[in-house]
Structure 1
């Protein structure tokens, strides 16, 4: 079969109904955990002024922008991440809300980079931030939320680890070695890529700063180089019985330039893929974007849909939890109307309308279809019940598709009766 002329662009995805169901599962889990923690939802436009992301994000991000001039002559880009957009929004509206702000967002982002496992050119992110709180308790709250998000997906202790680091420690390291301020982002990029680049490449890059690779490895090996904020975070998580999920790892610095303090990344324990989630403290970003008009310390993290889905599908318990959810929630309808007598279509449409008005999802064939085919369609739709409408109307026959049993019912009071039946454990998953 010849390939179709038009397909999704490289790095972009179509979402079939099943793919949408998986995406909705991720979104529902993210929202559920965030709301349990007292966070409220916000959103920002996917199109932003390019300068917003050039001003402070730094690193490779500026080369990955989907950037263009719009019809008004403005230099704009599709947002590559959400933190800068949030900082803009918070600077503008923070007076309207009590502090701290505990906000979350689920939205689409775009980066022009090479598509590969766990990475595309468009992706959805779960962004969770606390603004207006400078103490380590806010960082601990976010790390706890990240841990509980992983557990909500079915991951257990030992499946993943939160690697916590301290960017301020590296800024102090650079200052002690007289790294020029304008070169600090370049230096931090080298540290950020320690695990991804060959040691000889790293050593060559560090040499341009007059720093030996052994100095870096020695610094990482000594946990006392972390600030007191880390110990406060660990104590907080210990009180929640979550300290076993974190490890101090000073090799983590995060790639974006706006981070100022504690940073962290969530990895699967086997490190079989890139970070599942990551974030940290960015106390100066709101001040920078507001040109000094708003001082709002902040910390946050993001989790992308690509990597977490890959990890779910490659881990037994989370994969089974996902599949069970899809079976329970993925049905096109709960009740499928089978027309045993085409002359009764008007009556069937009346039943259909009444059931839908009562909040019961149901469907029926558009035209004349053999009864056997209608039952097949009912099963393909994932319906629990087939409701047969025939010549005996208003008497009806209800068939339980999982058990192949049937019983008689009447049109009068049907919606209430069916609602009760749908609560009983005789569906396809529980038969």
Structure 2
């Protein structure tokens, strides 16, 4: 690689200023939706005791851990998901908070799996959970937040669908077929691959459980196999105006062993990529993590930054909304100080300090440069205004870069003038 003998490890990312700006767009949208819906933010450590994940996660997760022994001889893991950490902290702290707990976290996670589209070895997740409420209303509230999140990213009806299922229905099915408890996870793993695995492979593997692929597909196709909770959830979401976004799909089971009831995944309508978000009810996890000391029903979901960004970029109206946000929020500065003659640098520095203290983002040349180059620097950093401090000082010339117009203002009035103008739309932003 030119310029360096080192580069990011496979599945890990550098965040350039542009990449950080996109990440900030995702984070601010996530955070804004959660707060509007009454959730409060928490945070847990990136590094945890490995036993926390081995206790009840199951599935492929245990083979994907970034696991090592630290200098104190402890078996530790970079967290692969947040729910186990949430269960740990909720069990320890739940008495300090009114129920139900409505908490969210935006955190980094790590899984050692093959990097591919929509998946890396490090990623950021938006995790939202309701703990302490067992009713279907909590599941509906959570699914509504997932829908609100998608709408806030600029998606519209027809762009995505929430596919809802019921893990309990599959547990009853497996019990009726005589599947042993210790093999339930393996069986559910096959159900989870109904859309991805070759039929002949599924047929062979299901035969080991004493059932056929046709039997499993028939179970998926019969809506009567869903529990009454689905009807309650659909009724709730329909009342909110979200009924068109939800469909029953019993092929959804989710990969982690701790799910106990209603589960769901958010997909783009064309199903061109893996799930954008997913989650469900995990009523026994807190009790398991706390060794039976705290018993709290819970439901939650997570949305990762990889897939949601891919879907935004592949959906024109959502991509346009993100670009508008980036133009307004990712510029290097709002105003750039142009200093034609270095004898006015002291005046410029005084104004820079006043503007920055007032909350205006301002940059300036750190060395003498031709005026044309200073204007080029102003445009490259995304400034809306170029402030020219020259011979007319204390009159300040103000160039509106987008419209190529010019105004002027007394230096003593520059702060309120700029604060007013910065609240107004200006320039050819994408609309």
Q: TM-score, normalized by length of structure 1?
A: 0.98
Instruction: Tell me which residue corresponds to 2:53.
Output: 53
Report the CA distance between 1:409 and its aligned residue: 1.7
State how far apart, in whole Å, the 1-side matches of 2:426 and 2:43 are: 41
Is the contact between residue 37 and residue 145 of structure 2 (CA under 8 Å) also seen in structure 1? yes
Is the contact between residue 324 and residue 430 of structure 2 (CA under 8 Å) also seen in structure 1? no
State how far apart, in whole Å, the 2-side matches of 1:287 and 1:15 are: 38
Partner SS for 1:31: helix
Partner SS for 2:412: coil
Instruction: Tell me which residue corresponds to 1:426.
Output: 426
Change beyond 3 A, Cα 1:244–1:424: closer
Instruction: Tell me which residue corresponds to 2:162.
Output: 162
Is the contact between residue 401 and residue 428 of structure 1 (CA under 8 Å) also seen in structure 2? no
Is the contact between residue 389 and residue 397 of structure 1 (CA under 8 Å) also seen in structure 2? yes
Report the CA distance between 1:79 and its aligned residue: 0.3
Report the CA distance between 1:195 and its aligned residue: 1.1
Partner SS for 1:59: coil
Instruction: Tell me which residue corresponds to 2:230.
Output: 230
Report the CA distance between 1:419 and its aligned residue: 1.4
Report the CA distance between 1:395 and its aligned residue: 2.0
Change beyond 3 A, Cα 1:176–1:424: closer
Q: 1:265-320 deviations in whole A, cap 9, x for unaligned? A: 00001000000000000000000111111010000000000000000000111011
Report the CA distance between 1:72 and its aligned residue: 0.3
Report the CA distance between 1:423 and its aligned residue: 2.8
Instruction: Tell me which residue corresponds to 1:198.
Output: 198
Report the CA distance between 1:424 and its aligned residue: 3.5
Q: Does 1:385 align with 2:388?
A: no
Is the contact between residue 323 and residue 430 of structure 2 (CA under 8 Å) also seen in structure 1? no
Q: 1:129-162 deviations in whole A, cap 9, x for unaligned? A: 0000000000000111111110111111111111
Is the contact between residue 191 and residue 253 of structure 1 (CA under 8 Å) also seen in structure 2? yes
Change beyond 3 A, Cα 1:209–1:3: farther
Q: TM-score, normalized by length of structure 2?
A: 0.98
Instruction: Tell me which residue corresponds to 1:40.
Output: 40
Partner SS for 2:391: coil
Q: Does 1:219 align with 2:219?
A: yes
- Structure 2 gap ranges (5+): none
State how far apart, in whole Å, the 2-side matches of 1:370 and 1:246 are: 60
Report the CA distance between 1:179 and its aligned residue: 0.8
Off by >4 Å, runs of 4+ in structure 1: none
Partner SS for 1:412: helix
- Structure 1 gap ranges (5+): none
Q: How does 1:16-415 map to 2 (within 5 A)?
A: 16-415=16-415
Is the contact between residue 78 and residue 110 of structure 2 (CA under 8 Å) also seen in structure 1? yes
Instruction: Tell me which residue corresponds to 2:416.
Output: 416
Is the contact between residue 320 and residue 430 of structure 2 (CA under 8 Å) also seen in structure 1? no
State how far apart, in whole Å, the 2-side matches of 1:88 and 1:422 are: 45
